[in-house]
Structure 1
Amino acid sequence: MNPRYILYIHLVINDIILLTMFTFIQVISYIVFTINTSLCIVSLMIAILANLNNPLTLAVMALECYIAICFPLRHTQICTVTKTYIVIGLIWMSSALSVLPDLFVALGTEDPEFFRSRLFCLRENIFRHPQLTTKRDISNIVCMVIIWLTLFYAYFNILFTAKAASKDANKARNTVLLHGFQLMLCMLIYVFQVTIEGLTYLFPKGVLTIRFTVAILIQVLPRLISPVVYGLRDKTFRRYLKRYLFCGANNQQQKL
């Protein structure tokens, strides 16, 4: 019933969705190399939506910290469970509005036979219209600028509004900084294709190995690190985690 933990769970769920789709695409591509175009589109759309949701969720989490510190008396009125679910719905809606034009352009410009063919599952191989690349770059830049401004706004308002000696204020500032670190990890996805192209140019015979290794380092590891770091530093989360871990261990010992 705590909006902060609802947002955190939403962040973790997005990571789970993204990693599931990523693993599916990578394994299928590594084993059979090409897959059905329609299946690739569905998998990519789900993965792209989850990937776009993460930075937006981090921005909302930073604003929640800002409200908790700068407006503590109004926090329970502003940050309610109902409003949190509405914000999550808006996050999904804005991500969908960002990626659906790509799908509509592909449906309108590609031959119907294209969607029954097989190809190597990459976003560039599906959404091939040249204007889509420009549109994607512009939307990514605008989105990242807005999110970074939100993080800076939250951080500096917490810094100057709250008392320096306040333990909660110090924790909130560190949390917003952690959101910035998580956002930088999310932004590694934008150098994914460039890194693969550069390494493939240097080592043309190891395309699959390069793609698999870079994907693990850039897409998987950041999403394994950030939720663990954010979750384990929270006292409430740690307390419940220990309780369930120890309860599970005690139950196993009792069965033995």
Structure 2
Amino acid sequence: ILNATLSFLEKCILYIQPILKRGLLSSLTTLPCCVFFCINVIMLFTLRSKSVFRETCRYILLYNLILADTLQMAVSQILYMMSICRITLPYPVCGILVMFANLTNEISPLTLVLMSLERYVAVCYPLRHATIITIRNTEVAIIMIWIFCSLNILIRVLLLLEFPFEELQSLQMKDFCSTFLMFLTPVSHEYDKAYSCFLFVSAFVGVTCSYIGVMLAARLASTDKASALKARNTLLLHLVQLGFSLSSTVNNALLLVTSKTVSRRVLVVVQIVFYVFLIILPRCLSALIYGLRDQTIRPILVYNLCCQLKLTFFQIFQG
């Protein structure tokens, strides 16, 4: 009886150990993702709570930036949790998730370019700022960004159609869904590299040129020095954000290089670290940077955050 009991316990431990491991791995990413996601949602709510935010162009652009980052964070976490739970998807479902992730990932750098141009016009052409940067023009620019990125997704879909899906025995994927696995043809892979390079180089040039223009304007005697310096610091933040946006695109390449030099256990830890710091954390920086730096947003954001924390503690206490 004792041997049978010990054997049963060993089988239970062997069965439970993988479940505990998956639970630990998922908690290491789910907890920070939930925290960052809540911060972004509260920031989005804050930007829609007052008319001054809804009627100011730079806040409208900020809302679009944080919305794209929040959607990207949600889709990335869904894909990551599916890989942890060892859930495989059909190719069409995986394709939809991956294309949506690519769409939201491309919105951020282009929105940063618009925000940089808005600051450039505000400093270099202050008298024409109100006529150039209008709510209508801002909304049209945002719509054009979404259309442009949607056209890119359409091109990616057309390239995927060249893959001979009819030769597959089943549309069910054998591996976990990820952006890297959806490069089914060499043309798709080359197109992704070329487009990503073009997108971020163009965004870098746009933000850098705006920064140089503001720096030159700050040296002119006719320019408001305080406004120019503040705009310069803002554009520096845009460059940092652009770098973080680029970090998510090099995640797969870094993992590929790391996998050749470390063991599988170490690779799992490295993957979690890369995922949190290269994918999840950059998606929350916009809300933290602007929410704490902007004098108009800060008190309202802090108030909303405190109210949410009090509500959460109240619900836990009542439960």
| TM-score of the pair, normalised by structure 2 | 0.73
RMSD of the TM alignment (CA)? 2.4
- 1:178 aligned onto 2:232: no
Corresponding residue of 1:60: 114
Name the structure 1 match of 2:68: 14
% identity of equivalent residues: 27
Q: Is residue 82 of structure 1 aligned with residue 136 of structure 2?
A: yes
Distance (whole Å) between structure 2 residues aligned to residue 248 and residue 53 of structure 1? 28
Once residues 250 and 126 of structure 1 are traced to their aligned partners in structure 2, the CA distance between those partners, rounded to angstroms, is 43
Cα distance in 2, alignment partners of residues 248 and 29 from structure 1: 31
Shift of 1:223: 1.7
Consecutive unaligned residues in structure 2, runs of 5 or more: 1-54, 313-319
Tell me which moved more, 202-211 or 172-181: 202-211
Once the two structures are overlaid, the 10-residue window that deviates more, 166-175 or 89-98, is 89-98
Q: 1:227 to 1:107 in 2, by over 3 A?
A: same
Residue identity in the other structure for 1:189:
S
The residue that corresponds to 1:34 in the other structure is 88
What amino acid is aligned across from residue 240 of structure 1 in structure 2? I
Mapped partners of 2:279, 2:311: distance in 1: 36
2:57 is equivalent to residue 3 of structure 1: yes
SS at match of 2:298: helix
Matches within 5 A, 1:123-162: 123-162=179-218
* 1:168 aligned residue (227, 230, 236): 227
Out of 225, 229, 232, the position equivalent to 2:289 is: 229
Higher mean C-alpha displacement, 213-222 vs 106-115: 106-115
Tell me by how many angstroms 1:16 deviates: 0.7
Match of 1:94 in 2: 148
Whole-Å separation in 2 of the counterparts to 1:246 and 1:211: 33
Once residues 81 and 180 of structure 2 are traced to their aligned partners in structure 1, the CA distance between those partners, rounded to angstroms, is: 19
Deviations 1:167-220 (A, max 9, x none): 111100000010000001111123211211122222342354443332112101
1:240 aligns with 2:294: no
Deviation per CA, 1:16-64, whole angstroms, max 9, x where unpaired?
1000000100001110242222221111111110101110000110000
Cα deviations by residue, 1:58-98 (Å, 9 ceiling, x for unpaired): 01100000011111111111111111111111111121222
Question: Is contact 1:38–1:115 with CA below 8 Å preserved after alignment?
Answer: no
Distance 2:159 2:187 in 1: 10
Larger Rg: 2
Q: 1:245 to 1:199 in 2, by over 3 A?
A: closer
Task: Decide whether aligned partners of structure 1 residues 249 and 182 sit closer, same or farther in structure 2, where only a CA change above 3 A counts.
Answer: closer
In the TM superposition, residue 7 of structure 1 has moved relative to its aligned partner by 0.5
Number of residue-to-residue matches in the alignment? 253
1:106 has 2:166 as partner:
no
Kept in 2, the 8 Å contact 1:102–1:127? The answer is no
